[in-house]
A = this chain, B = another copy of it.
Amino acid sequence: MAVTIKDVAKRAGVSPATVSRVIADNPRITGKTKEKVREVMKIMGYYPNFQARNLVAKKSQTLGIIMENSATLAFQNPFFPEVLRGISTRAHGSQYGLYLSTGATQEEIYREVVEMAQGKRVDGIILLYSKIGDPVMEYLCQSGIPFAVVGRPFKDPCAVSYVDNDNINNAKEVVEYLVGLGHRHIAFVGGAADFVVSLDRLEGYKLALKQHGIPFDAAYTVNQEFMHGNEREAIRRLMALDIPPTAIVTHDDMVAYEVIGYLEDLEISVPEDVSIIGFNNHAISRHLKPPLSTVDISIYDLGLHAAELVLEKITDESVPPKQVVVPSRLIERGSCRRL
């Protein structure tokens, strides 16, 4: 049996209430009493029981982190560890712990979130993704629990606190950069179609084309669905078009390298034959061949701000929803060439 507040109280010759106050460092307790109690706590190896403490305090000092289907997306790329690092740093700074979702399907995740929230297992929640028609997001909105999203919500974004890059603009700038290099036939390899980030980037892509009088052609776009075993084929098809693209925008550095691999198999070189650009600026991208031009989206900061937003909500429920846009920057390296 672990030592409880009562054991300490008895041994220190005070009441449990006093011990409790010493733990809370209540200023109304004598220095002498505090010292004595602390001494006893140390001797007995006393540690407060979280469950009990949280039960009466009606809080858990814990943030719930909800990630997408663990088997696939979230875990595939370095986004997850990096955003978690940001969250972790901020949470730790405020003495909050992190509780992770473990569900693999949308239904499991939904159930978990409801239990976390209703069961008071967490004080707030960070949703690591934003997708269209997501029941989890809907639940979060109507539940009243403090939460923040990494990624712009699809509907009613002003009603929720979120942090995001300006994805539309990022993609637009990337395309403009390529246009500036003389490219007119630019392909777009995007993420899963039901993620808002994918929509936004596609939108930015279209916007840039339009602005430069380049007609949009769906044949130049490929999305995450292609990632299910027929990536290679999708790229082959792309390059077999009557007018194949001279540049490809991909939504992630690792995907960019995967594409580069397929291109090489087709004896197409980067950047000689095709220019390519990624997103996320993975640590390794500058060391690889070719060094990848990419957009650094400040993943760590996304995490930091997401944590900040929930923490704010937890501290004061009445603060209005807030949106944070984290800056990104285009990093030029060797994977794009002037036509």
Contacts of A287 in B (CB 8 A): 257-258, 260-262
A254 at the interface (CB under 8 A from B): yes
Residue positions of A touching B, CB distance < 8 A = 2, 45, 47-52, 54-55, 60, 62, 65, 70-71, 74-76, 78, 80-82, 84-85, 88-89, 91-92, 96-100, 102-104, 108, 114-115, 118-121, 254, 257-258, 260-262, 264, 283-284, 286-289
Contacts of A97 in B (CB 8 A): 99-100, 102, 121
Contacts of A55 in B (CB 8 A): 49, 51-52, 55
Nearest CB of chain B from residue A300's CB, rounded to whole Å: 10
Nearest CB of chain B from residue A58's CB, rounded to whole Å: 9
Chain B residue nearest in CB terms to A46: B118
Contacts of A50 in B (CB 8 A): 115, 119-121
14 pairs, CB–CB < 8 Å, chain A vs chain B = A47-B115, A50-B119, A51-B51, A51-B52, A51-B121, A76-B283, A81-B81, A84-B100, A98-B100, A257-B287, A258-B287, A261-B286, A261-B287, A261-B289
Nearest CB of chain B from residue A282's CB, rounded to whole Å: 9
Q: A103 to B91: give the CA distance in the assembly, Å.
A: 10
Contacts of A60 in B (CB 8 A): 51
Nearest CB of chain B from residue A38's CB, rounded to whole Å: 16
Nearest CB of chain B from residue A296's CB, rounded to whole Å: 17
Chain B residue nearest in CB terms to A121: B50
Chain B residue nearest in CB terms to A93: B102
Contacts of A81 in B (CB 8 A): 74-75, 78, 80-81
Assess the A70–B85 pair: CB atoms within 8 A.
yes
Contacts of A74 in B (CB 8 A): 81
Q: Which among A48, A115, A288 has the greatest number of chain B C-beta atoms within 10 A?
A: A288
Nearest CB of chain B from residue A337's CB, rounded to whole Å: 17
* Contacts A50-B120, A91-B102 given; does A75 touch B82 at CB 8 Å: yes
